[in-house]
Every structure is written in C-alpha cells, then in structure tokens.
Structure 1
Amino acid sequence: MIEYEELRAEIDRYLMERFKYRKSLVWLTVDKIIVTRRNSRVDFYLRIRKVESCFPPDCLIIARLNFSKERIGHGTHFLSFLTGVARKYGFNYIGIECANIKSGAFAKKLGFYSIDEENYAIAVINLTSYFSME
C-alpha cells in the first residue's frame, strides 16, 4: 500500500502545481482508488488494478477526468504525466472507463483500443512512443 500512497502523492503534487492549489487535493481510498476532493478546476477518479478484469492486468483506469476548462491541453498533459508515473510504478496499461463521446474521441486520438463500446485501454509503451513523437 505504501507504493500506492507514493503514487497518490505524485498525482497530488502534479495537480497542485498544474492548477495552483495550496492544499492537498487527492486521497487514496482503502480499495485502491485515487480521487480528488470536490473543487472548481479538476475532478479525477483513478482505479488501481493489478489483476485482470475487463481491463488488462497492471492497469491504471481513469474512471473520471474532468477539467473546468476544456480543449486547452489539460487532458493530454495529464496523460503524458500519468504515462511516466505508470512506467515508474510498473503499470503496463492505462484505461479509460465508461467513456462518453468526448473522452472516447480523446482516447482514439491517442491510440487507445476499444475493449467494448465504452471502455478503452492502451499499453503504456504505446503512449510513451506517442508522447516522444510530439
């Protein structure tokens, strides 16, 4: 559980720096979910899964990601950051759960594959390649 707390702390530092918050935004639940407190700029819910489900094993699953200002690069920047974090902590996949039309289009743009009609995943190595070509 200590590595998950370190993961939580890294995400918290990232969001605090990116969105200029002074207080901690992020906490880790007992069932390995990293979530943000309610605030005006970002809403985030990340599941940590080491076992296979409809998503591959060793997957960080974005269940909710919402920024108050859209289409200015926050999502891409966050995914680039999350890719580095996933590599550091040994996660091989990143998933997007229950994607709506906007997040589905975002996933496809980044090269995620569709698991079913609303869930997407991508190998971290593929995202690493994507971000290194930008």
Structure 2
Amino acid sequence: MDAGFILPQEKQQVLDEINRWLNTVYPYKKPPAHLCDPIDRASKFFRIDVHRKKFSIYLRLGKTWASSQNKSIVIAKICFEKERSGYGSALLKCLAKIAEKYNYENIAIESVNEKSRSFALKFGFSEYQNKNDYIITTEKLTTILNKLPPPLSLSRIHVS
C-alpha cells in the first residue's frame, strides 16, 4: 500500500487521543469527537468533528492544503465557551503530541479571525500564502511549547 495512506488504526488512535484529552476538559458520558469519514479503509486524509454546547472543533488530518507531500493537521474550527482560559493552548499541546507521535509535519490554522490570528502568532505560526491561513512545523511548535511555563491544571480552570 502507498505510504501516503493513513490506515484505519491510526485514525482510531488519533480519535481516541483527542477524546481522552477532551474528557479531561469537559467530561461527557459519550466521546464528543467523531470521524467524519469511514474508518474501514485507508485514505490520504480524514476529518474529526467535535460539537458540544461548550465547545466546537473541526480538524483535517493527512494530506491537506498545508502540505500535499507530507501529513499535516489543519485546525479548521476551534471554539470554546470560555475564551482565554487555556483550552486552545492545551488543545494545541495535545495536537503537537499527536503530530510528533504519528509523523504529521505541520500544524495549520485556517481562515483566522483577529482572535485566532493573535493565538497563532503567540505560538510562532507564520502566514501561509495569504493572510487568513497560518502554519508551523511540528518541530518548531514543540520547541516553543516546551519553553512555556506549565499551564494551570484544567480542574482549576473550571473554578469560577
């Protein structure tokens, strides 16, 4: 099989890791993230959708506009009810770990607005071909994330 294909096992493992992380943020009885595409066959990309009252995330993984040659993770949508509470940063750390583990070369944020542009720049992302998309290599992002002070525990974030 072509090395450019993502096997069903990888799709499931990535989905499970995202659901485990989400469960630490907002515990739900049922896993909030699901695959948008059939898991039963290998493919060059797959999508993960998460939608709950308190958050919404949409990701594309594999061969994307961010890299037609290597696997990448594109954050197409990220929205948390509580803004500036560390959830976006924690998600980025989770995605960077997944990217390292499964050899995703880049992480990108598409169609940014002013808030997500500030978020992207804070973590060292660069403009990609237009001012609405931002990208960073997994290696560079991991280096930046490792230099940051440890975050507040997620349990402390919920305290009002």
Assess same fold via TM > 0.5: yes
Identical-pair percentage: 31
Q: Which has the larger radius of gyration?
A: 2
Give TM-score scaled by structure 2 length: 0.78
Say what the alpha-carbon RMSD is for the aligned residues.
1.3
CA distance in 1, matches of 2:120, 2:131: 12
Q: What is the deviation of 1:39?
A: 1.4
- 1:25 has 2:23 as partner: no
Residues 26-49 of structure 1, C-alpha deviation per residue, up to 9 Å, x if partnerless?
11122611011x311110000013
Deviation >2 Å, runs of 4+: none
Task: Please give the per-residue CA displacement for 1:72-127, whole angstroms capped at 9, x wherever unaligned.
Answer: 11111110111011101110110001111100110011000101110011001111
- Deviation track 1:29-72 (CA, whole Å, cap 9, x = no partner) reads 22611011x31111000001325x3x123110000000000011
Q: Aligned runs of 1:82-121 on 2, under 5 Å?
A: 82-115=95-128, 116-121=130-135
Alignment gaps of 5+ in structure 2: 1-7, 38-44, 149-160
The size of the alignment, in residue pairs, is 131
Q: Is 1:11 matched up with 2:18?
A: yes
Look up the match of 1:2.
9
What SS is found at the alignment partner of 1:117? strand
